[in-house]
Structure 1
Amino acid sequence: MDNLGVVFLSELVGTALLVLLGCGVVANVALTKNKGFGAGFLMVTIGWGLAVFAGVIVSYNSGAHLNPAVTLGLVSSGATEFGSGVPVNVISVLTYIAAQMIGAIIGAVVVWLAYKQHFDQEPEPANKLGVFATGPAIRSYGWNLVTEIIGTFVLVFVVIAFGGGRQGENGGLAALGALPVALLVIVIGTSLGGPTGYAINPARDLGPRIAHALLPIKGKRGSDWSYSWVPVAGPVIGGVLAGWASLILLPILA
């Protein structure tokens, strides 16, 4: 398998594991028949942080981007190489993003399989959608977008800063390290996650939302496509801005 194939598989498996464990903790908390039902937002944020930890561990070969916003943020920071010696170009960027999207859909499908009986017995369609996709506490598309931009900016800026500016080989979440990036995701969730549920990752939201739309989930309703652009556009903008900001600020702050 060539290097591009290695990073594709690495990103796919890492993102699938990330979404399986992340959406899995939401299912445990949100679906009423579960033992974890009602455990609260703190359990969700800790679960997502540890889900990122697991995803990073298994995808070091690709640099563990696991997130199109991270990939695009590294590009905008001037990175010349991704994981396994893959050069930064249109083909490699699209390969990363495709693997992340496919992995996210697969992870969401496995969550549905794990909780199939609980989805069947869940009376609230909103709870079922909430397992897969984020939604705002107060729906205001402009301000929801701002929240997602800020949260993703923090994620990508810290990741780039930890690597000393522009990331070289294995640039991505792997450059920060599995445990530190898990703690970073938890603190973003606990501090900035309340307004939107903090997608901070287009693949994490769009992939499972597509799975929700396609899966034969008993009693489901719409997949809230009117909001779906926010957790895609916000993280992309935040990631790219973080990459640009790193070119200006990190040489000063270092």
Structure 2
Amino acid sequence: MPSILDSKCILVTGATAGIGRALALEIAKLPSKPKVIGSGRRQDRLDQLSEAGIEGMQLDVNADRETLKKFVDNLVNKNPDLDTIVLCAGIQRQFNFQKEVDLDAISLEFNVNYFSVVTTITYLIPHFVRLAATGRKCSIITVTSALSVIPMPLVPNYCATKAALHSYTMSLRAQLQSANIHVAEIVPPLVESELHDAEGTTERLSKFWMPLDEFTNTVMEGLKKGDTVVAAGNAKTHYEQFEQPKEAIFAQTTKALLQNLN
């Protein structure tokens, strides 16, 4: 499987905070010296990344399809060697369905965490197919969550978006296998992050989360090895217990279907 060390040009979304920022900074330090492009909403944070040699491209992933298409076209035109994407952008909101629920907030969370990811990947796949056909090692890396395996009722929609992304990632991996495009999944546990600031739960959760440095080191080791699934902490335990048994069954049931698809 391709290692992150094989990558020549890498896009990291959500690179202005949390997991995305930490991974972008660590990838930029690799001895293979890949070009790293970080995208995010906040220009001041992107400017800070430039000090670490990371090229910033401003993007709010909660955009319409036309905007995302323009971003992808511009990205590929400027970086024809782009061979890896790490899709980290995400938000998390609490909802209590015994009380009034803001459906616009539900839609926003779904769009940021799932639909924008699928849209971006869809627009980038033709580029990756062409590049992989030349022998270049290409990778698509999504970021899901331990909550895609065992949900937490306080954030029901977040859990559902990550479960959807996990399922999509499995199917995408199977579909793109014949095109020699590596599809991997990062599965974080509760990790030190600004993700929880919007709901005011950061202080409480900080007593339980995995330090960001520890998580980042674990993920980088997995990416260097070319692991298909990179999980850490209790996410690794839950994934191995509940998701790994599905993989053999999934492979068996999809083999014939994929032959017809291709």
TM-score (norm 2): 0.35
Higher helix share: 1
Higher strand share: 2
